[in-house]
Amino acid sequence: MFFADSYQHFFRPLTGKYREQVVECLRLLYERLYTAKADYGESLAREQILEIFAEALTRAPQLDSDDSSAEPEGRFRNLREQAVWVLNSLVEFGWLEKQVDSATLSATYPFSRRGRLFTQPLVEVNSTRVRTRHRNTRNTLNALEAFASRGEVHDLIDAWEYSERIVADFTDMIAELEERKREMVREVEAQLLVQQATDEFFSFMESRFQPDLAIRLSADSVEKHRDSIGRVIARIRRKEKELKAEWEKRLRQLLPELVEEGRSLLWLMLDTIEDRMRRACEVKLPALRRALQGFTKRADIIIRQLSYLHNQSEGEFADLCQRLGDSAEKSALLQRLGDELGGFQLRLFDPKQTQLWQRSRRQPVNTRVEEEAPLGEENRREIVLQQLLDQAFNFNSGHLRDYLQKALGSGRRINSRDLPLADARDLLAMSHMLEAAAVNQSGAAAVQVEFTGAMASNDYFAQFDEYILELKESD
């Protein structure tokens, strides 16, 4: 059990109105014991710890207590009295341990194992230093290569643990990008400062994106090392049976909690590493790219919007929109605009079918004079057939108007079931006849389409809508 013995109320110091100050005390003490500021040849005595806590209490604010049912916390006359209370609380609830030297009877207060493990995330949350988390992919590859060459099972266990951190790092980065995006929106809503939003965005791109994210997406991408890791795993699988049996026995001794009857622990770890690399490449890496793209788009939208709001001259378009909103005839103007755009056609490119091609180098031109080779009969026939096929389906609005004029004759109204079909071009014209309503060039007659609601058929179409085409004189 976790909450047992001295750990029954392990998180009690992190509640109440002094919780932020206690967290700051833990952070500062952790830095003095386990970071570059630590003096590993010296153990911190009680007075030194109280000085560290007094400095932390000065930095951190005191929060209001939200729980009215909690036990009342006392008031302190000075920082030393409060530092003593924090030290006693951390020792009582299992964050620190009190160790007494039997020779000198001096007491030291190191972190307990659980206290150190839970304080480390508190330190890393607000840490500004760059953590090379992108190295886990290379560490996995290096550990697998070491295992394949030396046969030491600890290297395989290290590779297995590193591969687990790859997916966890991607998840942390995606969560960090989403959190930064929400923080940017909240700060902009509260302050509306263009310079601050711009500075924070570029500060993130310089301090977080360039040293970590850019490397993860390019030089140390999981896609780059996936094939190398797969080749090393395949090499391990091809080892001799006696060697693999020895590895299996050694792994079962080191990891008895993972042993299951009828399942190879060696194969389980290799399959798990391959599955984690696949998930990182196919799921987490695209999700990270989408999160980064969403963050940059949101920052661009916010900066553009704030720049527009702080611009003194709004421009002619904004004035026009303002005049249209204040006009009493805006409904009539919008209705007239809609009638004029009734025959307008808008065709957009499919983004999936659009590709950006890189500019290719120009091929050198061969300027040597060569004898003209005669074109064979078979090649001529293919060229003629290709030209005829291209012309057969070449259809434009002029052909459509000519067909409609021939079908109407001297009349001005015709039903779709009465359209003539003399040849293949008439069949194509009939299938495009609805487009005649959108063809309205200057000086030409417009066409109005009226659907009857009935269905018709002929020798070429099993079923089509029945409609009436009528000529209307243009204004």
> pLDDT value at position 203?
67
Bigger pLDDT: 168 vs 251? 251
Across the range 55-79, mean pLDDT stands at: 66
Spatial CA neighbour of 194 closest among 322, 273, 304: 304
Q: Is the dihedral of CA 192, 196, 199, 200 positive or negative?
A: negative
Q: What is the DSSP string of 249-298?
A: HHHHHH-GGG--TT--HHHHHHHHHHHHHHHIIIIIHHHHHHHHHHHHHH
H-type alpha helices, 310-417: 316-326, 330-340, 377-392, 397-408
Spatial CA neighbour of 252 closest among 159, 414, 233, 244 = 244
Residue 44's alpha-carbon distances to 40, 101, 115, in angstroms, are 10, 13, 16
CA atoms within 13 A on the CB side of 33: 23
Question: Does pLDDT of 69 surpass 80?
Answer: no
Do the beta carbons of residue 52 and residue 32 sit within 8 Å?
yes
Which of 58-67, 124-133, 239-248, 380-389: highest mean pLDDT? 239-248
Per-residue pLDDT tens digits for 98-125: 877 777 777 888 888 888 888 888 887 7
CA distances from 385 to 377, 389, 424 (A): 12, 6, 17
Read off the pLDDT of each residue in 349-367 and give the average, rounded to a whole number: 66
Look at residue 472 and tell me whether its pLDDT is greater than 50: yes
For residue 54, is pLDDT > 50? Answer: yes
Residue 85 has pLDDT above 80, yes or no: yes
Three-class DSSP labels, 404-445: HHHHHCCCCEEEHHHCCCCCHHHHHHHHCHHHHHCCCCCCCC
**How far, in Å, CA of 399 to CA of 397, rounded?**
5
Task: Write out pLDDT tens, residues 146-201.
Answer: 999 988 999 999 998 888 888 877 777 787 777 777 777 776 666 555 556 666 66
Angstrom CA distances, 274 to 53, 140, 154, stand at 47, 11, 18
Percentage of residues of the chain with pLDDT beyond 70:
73
State the amino acid at position 155 in one-letter form. Answer: D
Q: With 60 as the cut, is the pLDDT of residue 282 above it? A: yes
Instruction: Average the pLDDT over 412-438 and give the result.
Output: 77
E strand or H helix at 100, and its extent?
A: strand 99-100
Residue 36 CA to residue 25 CA, distance in Å, equals 17
Of residues 316 and 139, more confidence is placed in 139
Inter-residue contact 445 to 471 (CB < 8 Å): yes
pLDDT digits (tens, 9 = 90+) for 359-369: 666 677 666 76
Cβ contact 114:8 at 8 Å = no
Which has more pLDDT, 33 or 144?
144
> Average of pLDDT values for 386-392?
77
| Separation CA 280–CA 80 (nearest Å) | 50
Q: What is the structure's pLDDT at 38?
A: 59
Neighbours of 164 (CB within 10 A): 15
Q: What is the pLDDT of residue 246?
A: 92
| Burial degree of 227 (CB within 10 A; 0-12, 13-18, 19+) | exposed
| Higher-pLDDT residue of 145, 4 | 145
